[in-house]
Amino acid sequence: MTDQTLIILGASGDLTARLLLPGAGALIKAGHVPGLTLIGAALEEDWDDARWRQRVHDAAGQTPPTRWIRADVTRADDLRTVLDAAAGPPAIFFALPPAVTARACAALLDVDLPEGTRLVLEKPFGTSAESAAELNSLLTRLVPEERIHRVDHFLGKSTVLNILGLRFANRIFEPLLNSTHVESVDIVFDENLGLENRAGYYDHAGALADMIQSHLLQILGILTMEPPISLDAGEFRDRKADALRATRLWSEDPAACSRRARYTAGDLSGRRLPGYAQEPGVDPSRATETLAELVLAVDTWRWAGVPFRLRSGKAIGNSRKEAVVTFRRPPRVPDGLTGCDEPDRLRITFGPDRIALDFNINGPGDPFELDPVTLSAEFGAGELPPYGEVLRGVFEDDPMLSIRADVAEQCWRIVEPVTAAWRAGTVPLLDYPAGSTGPEDSLLTS
Ligand code: NDP
């Protein structure tokens, strides 16, 4: 594998510095992309080769060959100049605001792309099922679907494999993971961080588009899919797509099965945080939510009747990143055994990945009195950080971690009844103080 080029459009931005370059650095260090050149492009007037080289060095911890090109990536001429600088088949990473990405893709229609070009697109992919479908049809006019990588860095490959191993490489858990034994599933990603100066992006996205429509639905797909025959990307993505195609809002009433809320001023991790509406760059009239909850149904034989509650919130006191499977109560506990109060639960925690099984047994002390115990285990960490795994998949033409065109559209289809109801104002925007556990009127039960 020699003469690879990663072209980063939007290379002066936040994503490039915080996630993409560290991922590329880890990939280079591990020896997966010998001969990688990093071409950076953006509009900035005061960037040059030296500044880009320094940025790469600082963020990636490596000094691969680099090149900086000032470009307006919505112009075909500028894109041609950038592409001419590439050696070998380039991977073009669109680290741009979503609207600029769409315009850059349209401009690429007038450019002859080198053989083997891969396109790497960030979330959010479109803003609706319709716009995602339009972007998909534009992209397939540029390169074949297998060279289009719609990034979901949230689940690195090791986490995906950890869930598949937990589910399908033993006889313990999988026989229980169905509507006969499972009461409900909660998938939660609560952050103890506020806006962190990202109003320009976040105020137009909100928690539903930023986290649930993208990342949490992918977790749901992997938790609910039928066993894949192999880890082949096509097979894995087919099974995940089946599960997401079967997923819909729990009822036809978005007010009953969704919540939206916004944090007010409060103390978070020892810091005083202003309310979201007072954060610099936020337009309070957009009523952007910083916390979203949805209840979904997966209409398959295995999961019919089991509610899946998805939630993500910013500025929550306790950071919590996990999927919790709550099991039904035992059909009957013999008279004489007491204390079976809490349901059994399987917790799959993300980053670091671990599992914990909470259940009731005759613990220490009085054997008539049941006690909750927890069995837990750590999963191995991946060799690479999530963006390193994403880039490795791109350079090895392995799309396992990327979102297929139809799935990107399905994920918008799932949330659209909720976004429509929110826009129409039929679901109130609740408040919660920064540093709290979220709004009182929550749909979560675990
Ligand atoms: P930023 O606003 O920080 O950076 C955007 C970049 O795009 C800048 O380098 C900007 O350069 C460049 N740009 C904008 N317009 C043009 C143009 N016409 N021609 C050339 N360059 C242009 O955004 P982020 O890095 O935060 O986000 C990028 C993408 O990544 C978004 O889609 C976002 O949703 C996604 N993402 C971001 C994450 C993050 O943590 N930041 C996490 C997950 C996804 P200039 O300043 O020169 O205009």
The answer to whether the CB of 20 is under 6 A from ligand 1 is no
- Residues 6 or more apart in contact with residue 330 via CB below 8 angstroms: 340
CB of 263 within 8 A of CB of 217?
no
Residue 2: pLDDT band by 50, 70, 90 thresholds? low
pLDDT, position 386: 87
What is the average per-residue pLDDT within 277-306?
97
CB of 276 within 8 A of CB of 152?
no
**Residue 361 C-beta-side C-alpha neighbours within 13 Å:** 8
Instruction: Inform me whether the pLDDT recorded for 381 exceeds 90.
Output: no
- For a mutational test of ligand 1's pocket, the pick from 7, 8, 15, i.e. the residue with the most ligand atoms closer than 8 A to its C-beta, is 15
**In this structure, which residue's CA is closest to atom 38 in ligand 1?**
15
- For a mutational test of ligand 1's pocket, the pick from 201, 204, 387, i.e. the residue with the most ligand atoms closer than 8 A to its C-beta, is 201
* Angle in degrees, CA 88, 144, 161, rounded to 5: 85
Question: Regarding beta strands 320-327 and 345-349, do their DSSP bridges make them parallel or antiparallel, or are they unpaired?
Answer: antiparallel
Read off the DSSP letter of residue 420.
H
* H-assigned helices in 13-128: 14-15, 21-29, 49-60, 76-84, 98-108
Residue 25: pLDDT band by 50, 70, 90 thresholds? very high
The answer to whether the CB of 155 is under 6 A from ligand 1 is no
Q: Which atom of ligand 1 is nearest to the CA of 16?
A: 25
Q: Which amino acid, one-letter code, is at 304? A: A
Q: How far apart are CA 265 and CA 288, in angstroms?
A: 16
Which token pair is 279? 């954060």
94 Cα–ligand 1 center, Å: 8
- Cβ atoms within 10 Å of 169's Cβ, excluding its own: 11
**In this structure, which residue's CA is closest to atom 39 in ligand 1?**
15
Catalytic residues: 215
Q: What is the DSSP string of 142-167?
A: TS-GGGEEE--TTS-HHHHHHHHHHH
Read off the DSSP letter of residue 101.
H
Q: How far apart are CA 101 and CA 203, in angstroms?
A: 18
- Cβ atoms within 10 Å of 113's Cβ, excluding its own: 18
Question: Looking at 257-271, 311-325, 386-400, 415-429, which range is the least confident one?
Answer: 386-400
pLDDT digits (tens, 9 = 90+) for 78-104: 999 999 999 889 999 999 988 999 999
- Strand positions, DSSP E, 343-387: 345-349, 354-361, 371-378
pLDDT, position 363: 83
CB of 233 within 8 A of CB of 398?
yes
